[in-house]
């Protein structure tokens, strides 16, 4: 039997900061949206990460607050820039968050896009942007080693650890599942060797299917079963029976967020605006290539309305 479809809600922490007065955004609304998402039936809630490039609420501390106000939903990062943090204290923080939420954590990680703002962010954090892939790889090995509960030694190019022992241990044995945002060859190889799942952003089923074939091959080369990898897709939607209004809101959102057009950004991201049935048909293509968990970012100021439209009008039209 196929796994049931899951839907996650991306909490708009970036938009909250973008539209705040003097940089002082209201975090209470973000917590309320997370609680509402659980109450009305979402399976997970997620938060993005950035320090300077796209300022938002800090992901792990915000998720800790959400963990204390929810009971059922999984909580996750989509995605967390691990190269900007030292892996040893990060391993402890992630472990503690997994304890706080009772083992509901999914740890999505990535590198960030190669934009000028992200390069400046890396420089401000004292991290070599050109080494970010290697830093992520070594950091992931270190975190997983520390989450094992055994004495851990690691000698890499950037980190050396001798007989380290981390306690307390996370709720989930071996630590929370780590999902890598990967599109290019090297990140896909990294996901195949060290990851527990894959968290792409699109842009269409054909391209994702091609990347999945590569990930499957790399997993086999690493002696791992690709069928055990979680596949979670990040999508941006605007659901509205008025398709023209949906498109208008999507265009405004993407321009405000990225400075680009819907047409430009849809070449690399899974974005769709339209009526519930059209949105369902868009997602159905991803379902048919094996995606069964969607993280949905709503390109709209009316978050509650969009949440209701997705669960009440669009989801019933999808075939799992």
Chain center to CA of 313: 24
Domains of the chain: 6-317 (3.20.20.30)
pLDDT at 320: 61
- E-only strand ranges, 67-150: 74-81, 105-110
Check residue 1 and give its pLDDT: 42
- Among 106, 87, 84, CA closest to 97: 106
Cβ 192 vs Cβ 219: under 8 Å:
yes
Give per-residue pLDDT as tens, 185-209. 999 999 999 999 999 998 999 999 9
- Listing DSSP states for 27-51 in one string gives HHHHHHHHHHHHHHT-SEEEE---S
pLDDT at 95: 98
Q: Supply the pTM of this predicted model.
A: 0.96
pLDDT over 90, % of the chain:
91
Distance CA 118, CA 125 (A): 11
* Cβ atoms of 249 and 310 closer than 8 Å: no
Q: Residue 101 pLDDT > 80, yes or no? A: yes
């Amino acid at each position: 039997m196929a796994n049931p479809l899951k839907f996650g809600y991306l909490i708009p922490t970036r938009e909250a900061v973008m539209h705040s007065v003097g940089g002082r955004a209201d975090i209470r609304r973000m917590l309320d949206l997370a609680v509402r998402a659980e109450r009305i039936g979402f399976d997970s809630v997620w938060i993005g990460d950035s320090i300077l490039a796209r300022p938002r609420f800090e992901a792990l501390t915000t998720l800790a607050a959400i963990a204390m106000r929810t009971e059922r939903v999984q909580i996750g990062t989509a995605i967390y820039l691990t190269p900007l943090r030292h892996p040893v204290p990060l391993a402890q923080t992630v472990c503690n968050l997994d304890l706080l939420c009772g083992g509901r954590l999914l740890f999505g990680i990535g590198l960030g896009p190669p934009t000028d703002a992200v390069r400046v962010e890396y420089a401000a954090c004292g991290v070599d942007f050109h080494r970010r892939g290697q830093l992520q790889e070594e950091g992931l090995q270190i975190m997983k080693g520390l989450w094992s509960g055994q004495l851990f030694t690691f000698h890499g190019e950037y980190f050396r650890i001798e007989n380290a022992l981390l306690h307390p241990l996370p709720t989930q044995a071996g630590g929370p599942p780590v999902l890598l945002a990967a599109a290019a060859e090297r990140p896909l190889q990294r996901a195949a060797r060290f990851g527990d799942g894959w968290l792409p952003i699109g842009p269409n089923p054909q391209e994702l299917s091609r990347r999945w074939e590569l990930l499957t091959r790399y997993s086999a080369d690493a002696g791992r079963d690709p069928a055990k990898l979680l596949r979670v897709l990040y999508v941006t939607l605007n659901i509205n029976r008025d398709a023209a209004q949906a498109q208008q809101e999507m265009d405004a959102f993407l321009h405000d967020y990225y400075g680009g057009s819907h047409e430009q950004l849809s070449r690399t991201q899974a974005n769709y605006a339209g009526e519930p049935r059209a949105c369902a048909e868009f997602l159905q293509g991803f379902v048919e290539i094996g995606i069964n968990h969607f993280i949905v970012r709503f390109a709209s100021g009316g978050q509650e309305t969009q949440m209701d439209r997705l669960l009440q009008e669009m989801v019933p039209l999808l075939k799992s």
